[in-house]
Amino acid sequence: MKIIVLDEQVLKEKRKLINLTKLRSELWEEIVKYATSIGFEDSEVSDYFFLEITDDKTMKDLSDEGKTNNDINIEVRAELDFDGMMDLIDKLNPIVKKYDDDSYFDMYDSGIAQCLMLQESLSEAYTPGTAKAQDLRALRLDSDTLWINLRDLINEYDFGEENNKYLETAMKMTKELSNKLYEMEEKEEYED
């Protein structure tokens, strides 16, 4: 049996992606909660509120000749007056502070708030569970991706009956691995 060892840089990238997804989800949930508390319907929130998170792969610091700035830029736009926007910022700041104590939202323009966060903060930020649980989560996400890729491959091409059976067995084993990793991850989180 071959054991795959992920180096620290790969794990940091995976933690960053997990935390970025979690951060986006937490911010959006708070935006929806706030919007509905002031009278917007759930179905209207995405029409009047906007959340965008960009990192240095998509955002260039033009003042520094196009070099990346290693920041994560979080921008919230909303059809709110100044006081409403400040109330929303007050709700969102505790979320970003969980990831980076130095980060906070500030009014950028009417109806627009921005927050800058160092990318390093997301790869080192606390997420529920131990480092072991985080690493199990990263490996589980990889196995889920492999399962999806195998499924797509089987659906798109015909490799012959024998090879298709082999790929289907690999899919089944990958799904079992993913489920087991999930169980192990959950156990680690609750022991933290």
Decide if 20 contacts 125 (C-beta within 8 A).
no
Gap between the Cα atoms of 115 and 146, Å rounded: 34
Any long-range contacts for 89-95 (C-beta under 8 Å, 24+ apart)? 89/113, 91/30, 91/33, 91/34, 92/27, 92/30, 92/31, 95/23, 95/26, 95/27, 95/30
What's the maximum distance between 2 C-alpha atoms anywhere in the chain? 66
pLDDT for 163 beyond 80:
yes
Q: Summarize pLDDT for 90-110 with one digit per residue, the tens.
A: 999 999 888 788 889 999 888
Report the share of the chain in percent with pLDDT over 70: 67
Query: Tokens standing for 160?
Result: 């012959």
Which residue in this structure is represented by tokens 């079992």? 176
Q: pLDDT tens for residues 106-141? A: 998 889 999 988 776 665 554 545 566 666 666 766
Quote the tokens at residue 103: 């980060």
Rounded to whole angstroms, how far apart are CA atoms 37 and 25? 18
* Mean pLDDT, range 141-152, rounded to an integer: 73
Given a contact cutoff of 8 angstroms between Cβ atoms, the answer to whether 99 and 121 are in contact is yes
Which segments of the chain are extended strands (E)?
49-54, 60-61, 67-68, 71-78, 106-109, 112-118
Residue 50 is predicted with a pLDDT of 92
Residue type, 37: S
